[in-house]
Structure 1
Amino acid sequence: MNKENCIFGIYPVLEAIKSNTVLDKVYIQKDSGNHKLDEIVATLENKQISISRVPIEKLNRLTKGNHQGIVALTSPIAFQSLESIVEAALASNKTPLFLILDQITDVRNFGAILRTAECTGVDAVIIQKTGGAPVSGDTVKTSAGAIFKIPICKVDHIKDAIFYLQGSGITTLAATEKTKNTIYSVDLNIPLAIIMGSEGKGISHSVLNLVDEKAALPLLGEINSLNVSVACGAFLYEVVRQRSI
């Protein structure tokens, strides 16, 4: 845990909220019985900040200080507005490319994906405010600093982002094994948003029902899935290949 992005204790966290510090995630002790924590939770939910209720042992591992049942992680970056990023991408001379992450929870996968996204010219990475990996010092490390070079947009719901992108003329493509189409049979020379699913469950059914296209990677061995960051890299570099021809 990077101490520089960790705030703990009831009053320090309250001050962070009041000063509009960008909080990426807040851990609250389960069954603490502290009414002040309940008040903080109500404020955080109103601001749609991600909250995880965890055992006290988790908080003890996060910090050795007197956490009083609450530990908050600040974000090392400022999140961007999806609307402004989309408008800028559509106004540019390049074909827009977005990446949507549907509940990626492993910080190492998240960091690796950001690194690949930056290297392949992705205009922005879109994540949901709740349920995903925290944007933390570990993300900075695993992304090799790419987190500072690529815009990240946080949205209330992935489905809302998909509707907005589609309404802006951007095709949404889900990376899923639940299709006979491979990524190599899809035209990627269009304004595009690729959706990658979580490590365990993949893309949620409600999201799959909304997308314009679905594509899979051919698997020639006995294992039936790839690590999500590896799969994401394969998808993004197929975009690069097609757009370089």
Structure 2
Amino acid sequence: MKKEREDIIYGRHPVLEALNSGAPVDKVFLQQGTRGEFEKELRKLCKMMEVPFTVIPSAKLGRMTRGNHQGVIAQLAAAAYQKTEDLIPMLYEQGETPLLLLLDGVTDVRNLGAIARSAEVCGAHGIIIPQKNSAGLTADAVKSSAGALLRIPVCREKSLVNTVALLKNSGIQVVASDLQAEAYLHELQLTEPLCIVMGAEGEGISEGVGRAADVRFRIPQAGQLNSFNVGVAAGILLYETMRKRMGI
């Protein structure tokens, strides 16, 4: 018999209570065709708590739990999300030179986990992800990160373009990895307050985020394949940043 998942809450009252109490909810799934006061209240709470909301067929909900889900399931986050606007001043107050990662469209939990592991090892201070079109703080992501996602702050933001503006206004240079860029990684200073932007494999960074970045750069490569895996690329970028900051 399949073991019941421990990272979900199901049923109308328990899900509403989880949202109202401020529990770390990663996303909410609602049964297709649900209407009425419950649906309105659920949407209102998800919007207020900035929790992604997805409508799916009943059969998919049934595959997530054997229990009486009443048409709604909340997937819990392994840790609470933070806000970039709170993290930045805290880092400056602690005397840190911020090093952040902004992941634009990285949806694979294994890639998120690998990136978080490299980020923690290389001394990054936080990871920023969008509310939609992104892997989240799930148990699988934490496992893939070898626990790093429980050690490094993860900020989830509604608008990455607005977040880039916040970073720049806070004195943080925003540099974006882009296969079409002319500048190379080794040409960047990397020692100032910094946020490195990485996009999904194949698609890259979104147009709005790319335009908002201060600098675009690329990693040199000699082979014929189009690019590195995003997790590998993140490791290269973070190591080079750590190396320059340590002066070695």
Q: Structure 1 pair 2/113, CA: closer, same or farther in 2 (3 Å)?
A: farther
Give the Å deviation of 1:91.
3.4
Say if 1:10 and 1:37, in contact at 8 Å, map to a contact too: no
Give the Å deviation of 1:83.
2.6
Give the Å deviation of 1:33.
5.0
Moved over 6 A (4+): none
Q: Given the alignment of the two structures, is residue 236 of structure 1 paired with residue 229 of structure 2, yes or no?
A: no
Q: Structure 1 pair 195/2, CA: closer, same or farther in 2 (3 Å)?
A: farther
Q: Structure 1 pair 150/83, CA: closer, same or farther in 2 (3 Å)?
A: same
Give the root-mean-square deviation of aligned CA atoms. Answer: 1.9
Q: Given the alignment of the two structures, is residue 199 of structure 1 paired with residue 208 of structure 2, yes or no?
A: no
In structure 1, stretches of 5+ residues that fail to align are: none
Say if 2:78 and 2:139, in contact at 8 Å, map to a contact too: yes
1:8 aligned to which of 7, 10, 15:
10
Per-residue displacement from partner, 1:184-234 (whole Å, max 9, x unpaired)? 111112111001112342110011000001111122212102211111111
Return the letter of the residue paired with 2:188. Answer: V
Question: 1:179 corresponds to which residue?
Answer: 181
For 1:116, what is the secondary structure of its paired residue?
A: helix
Return the letter of the residue paired with 1:86. Answer: I
Question: 1:158 corresponds to which residue?
Answer: 160
Per-residue displacement from partner, 1:99-148 (whole Å, max 9, x unpaired)? 11112111111111111111110011112223311211111111111111
Q: Separation in 2 of the partners of 1:141 and 1:93?
A: 31
Question: 1:68 corresponds to which residue?
Answer: 70
Say if 2:4 and 2:66, in contact at 8 Å, map to a contact too: no
For 2:6, what is the secondary structure of its paired residue?
A: helix
Query: TM-score normalized by structure 2?
Result: 0.91
Alignment of 1:1-245 (within 5 A): 3-32=5-34, 36-245=38-247
In structure 2, stretches of 5+ residues that fail to align are: none
